[in-house]
């Protein structure tokens, strides 16, 4: 993995190359990438300032100074007290920089206004920062592989133990607890039963697993800073015709989208590879989302594999590939793996079979 | 609790009173307040549009339409497909409104720019939306009380079971799992041992509870949409002189800040009530944060009880009151309760004793 000091220098060069006087990094994951420090951001401002020429700083509430021990030497901490909102200290570290790049999908309007009122000209520079993060090196790929391995084990354990009568909310709580006990610093299980699974973002609730239900189990976990995110499905006893057919379509769609993960392919074309197959079977349900998203320090990061993305894939990018079919009132089927774009064949970072599991009654 | 329809009308009147043509609500909690629907926001735009005259909408990705069943009739859903970023659909629901209020600490710079490029003049209106949310009605207060009751039980169970040798990360995972099994839809345990507790935002790790450790246990949980947030402390066997003294100072500081929670008192003066007492004992450690923050649909919401807040307290506001003392390399002591501002005495929503608990060896 590139060292923090190298990353600071790479961002400094990218900032200069983009014609910016400085770059302001505010998202948790970008701060973690640059400094090794993942902030607990609440209402307080956290920022890494990198000036194009030289210098920079990590601006944090004094409350959080204790987390900065491992930050790179090139970025001395600048702390502010509870009496400040951090903006004066931030402006002071910018040291006269006027054209300042920001992460436009993280920095909030209120802070952007406060900086503009102090004479800064803010420019979207999320792509400058993501330009460093988007191609993963081999140690980062290994970190995602380890996170996937943890999620695979969690999925296998969960399906082994799952029985009719199990309560959706309790199953999710148990999986989250197990993942955290294994060292995950964050985890988002989304295990949905029967009709709940027709809504990909439903909140797990009091539903008990019943005969005829499908189970759509989407598990993600963050291990050593990197995420893994996998989805597998099951049915209680043997699958209905719908569940079997939907699973086959989604399996084929996933294979097609994975095969499309080649350097130079536009993001939208990876989506199209799955969409074409899923939308052809609208008799089975709806195609509610794109093929997937990049994954790494953030669980969802750009590029997004959706129809509006013309960004070409590059070697070292990692994507979730997760087509699904959803039928209101019945259920949902989704299959998800994490895939590295390689010069030759794409590499799948997990080895868990895609099988539609049958839960004994 | 006011109905969703009433809340829509109240926000409509507040929007008009602020001289705005429309208000754009984007934060999870404000969307939940207005619609009853708490979105799972990832990279996709969610927004409630309220026009000052009449009309409005809930703009959501089609992926999330399934969560909108209970939304108020005055706000018909407007969905957008994966091919859109939602901005055209949002602008269309604004229907010519030009002066548009936004939640300036939620809306990101990139979306603000996209809206400005379409001719909208955005104005900070977070205080307009919070003007509705900040004074809680009796049913909301009851909801926070119920969340506090759940957290109290979790704290009592955890301290009853805690033994030397327990692993910090495992203890946190177990408490989170238990809270979720009881119906919490979100939970943030932050139980820190010994020197880890000197850093209020440390990440729970592999440390085993050992003789001489303090335990600083900050637990929050969201139940039926509302948060409760309490902190209690313990020592392994009898407390050191430092732990006993720090606990006494923090207890006194908390009592002083709670007593200051009266309608009309400025937020900064509630902070001053605790700060004066804590800072007088800098021989025991550092005063790293303010007195607390408002709590309700969000775990941290304004007003914040810090030196820069001159907002006066109002009846029905609920605050955490949570002074602390932190000594690097040794530990931290914090005591936190949730307090309703009433016309007479402030009301504490929990009944768990503040005692410095002794964990048997």
What's the complex ipTM?
A: 0.90
pLDDT over threshold 90, residue A256:
yes
Cβ distance B109 to A110 less than 8 Å, yes or no, reads: no
Helix pair A168-181, B168-181: axis angle to 10 deg: 170
Cβ distance B108 to A105 less than 8 Å, yes or no, reads: yes
CA-wise closest residue to B349 among B318, B322, B326, B327: B318
Cα A217 from Cα A151, distance rounded (Å): 11
Within 10 Å of residue A30's Cβ, how many Cβ atoms? 23
CA-wise closest residue to A269 among A247, A290, A255: A290
Cα A205 from Cα A264, distance rounded (Å): 42
State percent of chain A over pLDDT 90.
88
Question: A with B: how many residue pairs have Cβ under 8 Å apart?
Answer: 144
Cα A91 from Cα A93, distance rounded (Å): 5
Is the N-terminal amide bond of B59 cis, ω within 30° of 0?
A: no
Which contacts (CB < 8 Å, 24+ apart) does range B348-354 have? B348/B258, B349/B141, B349/B144, B349/B145, B349/B148, B349/B228, B349/B318, B350/B148, B350/B149, B350/B151, B350/B152, B350/B228, B350/B230, B351/B152, B352/B152, B352/B155, B352/B156, B352/B230, B352/B232, B354/B232, B354/B251, B354/B254
Pick the residue from chain B with its C-alpha nearest to A304. B43
**Contact present, A22 and A51 (Cβ < 8 Å):** yes
Top-confidence residue, B71 or B327: B327
CA-wise closest residue to B41 among B53, B50, B49, B32: B32
Q: What class does CATH assign to A138-359?
A: alpha beta
CA-wise closest residue to B139 among B23, B326, B297: B297
Q: What is the pLDDT of residue A5?
A: 85
| Residue ranges in chain B assigned as alpha helix (H) | 4-17, 28-35, 87-94, 109-117, 126-133, 138-161, 168-181, 241-259, 267-279
Cβ distance A308 to B174 less than 8 Å, yes or no, reads: no
pLDDT in tens, B309-352: 999 999 999 999 999 999 999 999 999 999 999 999 999 999 99
* Tokens matching residue A78: 């600048």
Cβ distance A289 to B198 less than 8 Å, yes or no, reads: no
Q: Can you give the residue ranges of every domain in chain A?
A: 4-133, 138-359
Chain B residues within 8 A of A104 when measuring between CB atoms: 108-110, 113
Chain A residues within 8 A of B169 when measuring between CB atoms: 180-181, 183
pLDDT over threshold 70, residue B1:
no
Cβ distance B177 to A172 less than 8 Å, yes or no, reads: no
pLDDT over threshold 70, residue A14:
yes
- Strand-strand pairing, A121-124 and B357-359: unpaired
Helix pair B138-161, B168-181: axis angle to 10 deg: 140
| Mean pLDDT estimate for chain A | 95
CA-wise closest residue to B146 among B192, B176, B185, B174: B185
Chain A residues within 8 A of B293 when measuring between CB atoms: 43
| Helix (H), strand (E) at residue B50 | strand B47-51
Q: What is the pLDDT of residue A282?
A: 97
Q: What is the pLDDT of residue B172?
A: 94
For residue A85, give the nearest of B124, B288, B308 by CB distance. Answer: B308
B131 confidence band (pLDDT: 50, 70, 90): very high
- Phi-psi group of A233: left, alpha or beta (phi > 0 → left; psi -120 to 50 → alpha; rest → beta): beta
CA distance A271 to chain B (A): 10
Query: What is each CA distance from B300 to B227, B228, B229, B355, in whole angstroms?
Result: 9, 11, 10, 25
Buried/exposed code over A197-233 (b: 16+ C-beta within 10 A; e: otherwise): bbbbbbbbeebebeeebbbbbbbbbbbebbbbbbbbb
For residue B85, give the nearest of A40, A113, A308 by CB distance. Answer: A308
Cβ distance B109 to A108 less than 8 Å, yes or no, reads: yes
Cβ distance A288 to B67 less than 8 Å, yes or no, reads: no
Cβ distance B176 to A172 less than 8 Å, yes or no, reads: no
pLDDT over threshold 70, residue A90:
yes
- Burial class of residue A17 (count of CB atoms within 10 Å of its CB; 0-12, 13-18, 19+): exposed
**Contact present, B257 and B323 (Cβ < 8 Å):** yes
Q: What is the pLDDT of residue B3?
A: 82
Q: What is the pLDDT of residue B13?
A: 96
Q: What is the pLDDT of residue A67?
A: 76
State percent of chain B over pLDDT 90.
88
CA distance B94 to chain A (A): 19
pLDDT in tens, A195-241: 999 999 888 999 999 999 999 999 999 999 999 999 999 999 999 99
Chain A residues within 8 A of B203 when measuring between CB atoms: 38, 40, 185
Interface test with B, best of A36, A66, A105 (most B CBs within 10 A): A66
Interface test with B, best of A31, A40, A109 (most B CBs within 10 A): A109
CA distance B199 to chain A (A): 6
pLDDT over threshold 90, residue B203:
no
Q: What are phi and psi of A157, to 5 degrees?
A: -60, -45
Taking CA A65 as the corner, what is the angle to CA A60 and CA A66, rounded to the nearest 5 degrees? 150
pLDDT in tens, A111-153: 999 999 999 999 999 999 999 999 999 999 999 999 999 999 9
**Contact present, B175 and B158 (Cβ < 8 Å):** yes
CA distance B198 to chain A (A): 8
Cα A232 from Cα B177, distance rounded (Å): 22
pTM passes above 0.80: yes
For residue A288, give the nearest of B63, B176, B289 by CB distance. Answer: B63
Q: What are phi and psi of B256, to 5 degrees?
A: -65, -40
Cβ distance A304 to B108 less than 8 Å, yes or no, reads: no
Cβ distance B67 to A202 less than 8 Å, yes or no, reads: yes
Q: What is the pLDDT of residue B4?
A: 82
Cβ distance A172 to B183 less than 8 Å, yes or no, reads: no
pLDDT in tens, B78-119: 999 988 999 999 999 999 999 999 999 999 999 999 999 999
Cβ distance A43 to B293 less than 8 Å, yes or no, reads: yes
Q: What is the pLDDT of residue A353?
A: 97
Q: What is the pLDDT of residue B73?
A: 80
The residue with tokens 């768990």 is: B352
User: What would the mean pLDDT of B14-18 be, rounded to a whole number?
Assistant: 97
Q: Which residues lie across from B208 on neighbouring strands?
A: B167
pLDDT over threshold 80, residue B69:
no
Taking CA B183 as the corner, what is the angle to CA B181 and CA B187, rounded to the nearest 5 degrees? 85
Residues 6 or more apart from A42 whose CB is under 8 A from it? B300
Q: What is the pLDDT of residue A165?
A: 97
Cβ distance B66 to A202 less than 8 Å, yes or no, reads: yes
- Strand-strand pairing, B226-236 and A47-51: unpaired
Q: Which residues lie across from B186 on neighbouring strands?
A: B222
Name the DSSP letter for residue B64: G
Q: Which CATH superfamily is domain A4-133 in?
A: Creatinase/prolidase N-terminal domain (3.40.350.10)
pLDDT in tens, B211-249: 999 999 999 999 999 999 999 999 999 999 999 999 999
Chain A residues within 8 A of B112 when measuring between CB atoms: 109, 112
Q: What is the pLDDT of residue A12?
A: 96
Q: What is the pLDDT of residue A1?
A: 60
Q: Classify B155 as helix, strand or coil.
A: helix
**Contact present, A225 and A32 (Cβ < 8 Å):** yes
Q: Classify A344 as helix, strand or coil.
A: coil
pLDDT over threshold 90, residue A306:
yes
Interface test with A, best of B77, B82, B227 (most A CBs within 10 A): B82
A296 confidence band (pLDDT: 50, 70, 90): very high
């Amino acid at each position: 993995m590139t060292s923090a000091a190298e990353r600071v220098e790479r961002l400094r060069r990218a900032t200069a190359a983009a014609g910016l006087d400085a770059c302001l990094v505010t998202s948790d994951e970008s701060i973690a990438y640059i400094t090794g420090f993942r902030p607990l951001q609440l209402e307080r401002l956290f920022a890494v300032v990198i000036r194009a020429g030289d210098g920079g700083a990590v601006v944090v509430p004094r409350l959080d100074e204790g987390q900065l021990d491992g930050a790179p030497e090139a970025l001395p901490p600048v702390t502010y007290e509870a009496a400040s909102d951090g903006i004066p200290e931030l402006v002071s570290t910018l040291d006269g920089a006027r054209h300042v790049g920001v992460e436009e999908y993280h920095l909030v309007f209120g802070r952007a206004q406060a900086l503009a009122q102090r004479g800064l000209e803010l420019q979207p520079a999320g792509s400058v920062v993501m330009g460093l993060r988007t191609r993963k090196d081999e140690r980062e790929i290994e970190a995602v592989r380890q996170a996937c391995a943890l999620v695979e084990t969690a999925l296998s354990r969960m399906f082994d133990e799952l029985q009719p009568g199990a309560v959706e909310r309790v199953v999710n709580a148990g999986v989250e607890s197990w993942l955290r006990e294994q060292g995950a610093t964050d985890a988002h299980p989304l295990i949905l039963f029967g009709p709940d699974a027709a809504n990909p973002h439903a909140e797990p609730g009091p539903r008990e697993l019943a005969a005829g239900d499908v189970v759509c189990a989407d598990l993600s976990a963050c291990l050593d800073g990197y995420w893994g995110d996998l989805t597998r499905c099951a049915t209680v006893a043997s699958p209905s015709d719908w569940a079997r057919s939907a699973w086959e379509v989604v399996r084929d769609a996933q294979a097609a989208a994975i095969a499309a993960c080649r350097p130079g392919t536009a993001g939208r074309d990876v989506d199209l590879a799955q969409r074409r197959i899923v939308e052809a079977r609208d008799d089975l349900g709806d195609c509610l989302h794109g093929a997937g998203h990049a994954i790494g320090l953030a669980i969802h990061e750009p590029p997004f594999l959706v129809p509006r993305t013309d960004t070409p894939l590059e070697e070292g990018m990692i994507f979730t590939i997760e087509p699904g079919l959803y039928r209101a009132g019945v259920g949902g089927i989704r299959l998800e793996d994490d895939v590295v774009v390689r010069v030759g064949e794409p590499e799948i970072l997990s080895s868990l079979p895609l099988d539609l599991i049958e839960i004994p009654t």
